[in-house]
Amino acid sequence: MKLSDDTYYSKEANKAFFSVSQYKDFCKCEAMAMAKIRGDFEQKQTKAMLIGTLVDWWFEGTLDKLRGESPNIFYCRNGALRAEFRKADEIIKRVQRDGRFMQYMGGEKQKILTFEMFGAPWKMKMDSFVEDICITDLKVVQNFKSLAFWRYDIQGAVYVEGADACGYGYLPFYLAAVTKEAVPNFDIFQVDRPTLDTALREVEGNMPRFIAVKAGLEEPRYCGVCDYCKSVKKARIRNYSELLEG
């Protein structure tokens, strides 16, 4: 299957390929990951996530087009611009004034690669790719501390390995991070080689199980606490005291 901008996020593509987000879904909850692949479950977009999406769209160069096509994303019913958009606009204006940030985000946008890794086909889409120089991914986060929480070392490990598998060589991986704080903070973080290597070994270790579950050879495990598990659970009789512990 050859992927384009139109088919990259399609059901067929998610069935055929692993991606970093699908891999992370499997780590969180195998049942939820499988439900997403079947098309039975979709993660709801929160208002906080919308700010990041808007900034992504601006860097892709599609923000104005989408603003015309889907005005309800951008405007409240009374016609005022949504608060999330005003925040996104503030973030865009701020990083635009920074030469280094714009330089790292100035590569080829949304470049798609597909490759084989650890016995499975993978797909990836890079925010900014500069041939022979580096791969950069844009992150709009609550604060810098949350960068580590989201495990972007896994994304870096897969992207660097994928670009190498496609003949681009082993490139450095950067996160162009900007925060949603009252006054946005921003910097370029390099994820170093030892960190990428450790993350890649972790992916390698988990893949045999995830490949078997995705192929239907093993039953998916239910985490019991995610939104998907809650949506399909049955009520249990529980002891009230467990709520008082910890």
Question: Shortest CA distance to 196 belongs to which of 212, 174, 228, 176?
Answer: 174
Handedness of CA 191, 197, 202, 208 (dihedral sign): positive
117 lies in the site for Zn ion, by CB under 5 A? no
29 lies in the site for Zn ion, by CB under 5 A? yes
Closer residue to Zn ion in complex, CB, 199/226: 226
3 lies in the site for Zn ion, by CB under 5 A? no
Residues 6-25 that bind Zn ion (CB under 5 A): none
Stretch that binds Zn ion, among 9-17, 52-60, 104-112, 228-236 (CB under 5 A): 228-236
Closer residue to Zn ion in complex, CB, 172/220: 220
Stretch that binds Zn ion, among 6-14, 80-88, 171-179, 225-233 (CB under 5 A): 225-233
33 lies in the site for Zn ion, by CB under 5 A? no
Applying CB under 5 A, among 20, 32, 105, 124 the residue interacting with Zn ion is 32
Closer residue to Zn ion in complex, CB, 23/174: 23
Residue for token digits 């892709």? Answer: 60
Q: Which amino acid is at 11?
A: K
CB-CB neighbours of 74 under 10 Å: 17
Nearest residue by C-beta to Zn ion? 29
| CA dist., res. 154 & res. 141, Å (int) | 17
Closer residue to Zn ion in complex, CB, 143/231: 231
Total residues interacting with Zn ion, rule: CB under 5 A: 5
Contact predicate 1/16, CB 8 Å: yes
Contact predicate 223/29, CB 8 Å: yes
213 lies in the site for Zn ion, by CB under 5 A? no
Closer residue to Zn ion in complex, CB, 10/231: 231
Q: Which residues of 141-178 are buried (b: 16+ CB within 10 A; e: fewer)?
A: beebeebeeeebbbbbbbbbbbbeeeebeebebbbbbb
Contact predicate 98/192, CB 8 Å: no
Lookup: tokens for 134? 């580096």
229 lies in the site for Zn ion, by CB under 5 A? yes
Applying CB under 5 A, among 120, 130, 188, 223 the residue interacting with Zn ion is 223
CA dihedral of 9, 187, 98, 91, whole degrees rounded to 10 = 60
Stretch that binds Zn ion, among 31-39, 69-77, 177-185, 192-200 (CB under 5 A): 31-39
Stretch that binds Zn ion, among 62-70, 94-102, 171-179, 224-232 (CB under 5 A): 224-232
The distance of closest approach from Cβ of residue 225 to Zn ion in the complex, given in angstroms and rounded to an integer, is 6
226 lies in the site for Zn ion, by CB under 5 A? yes
Question: Shortest CA distance to 233 belongs to which of 35, 5, 22, 16?
Answer: 35
Q: Which residues of the shown chain bind Zn ion in the complex (CB under 5 A)?
A: 29, 32, 223, 226, 229
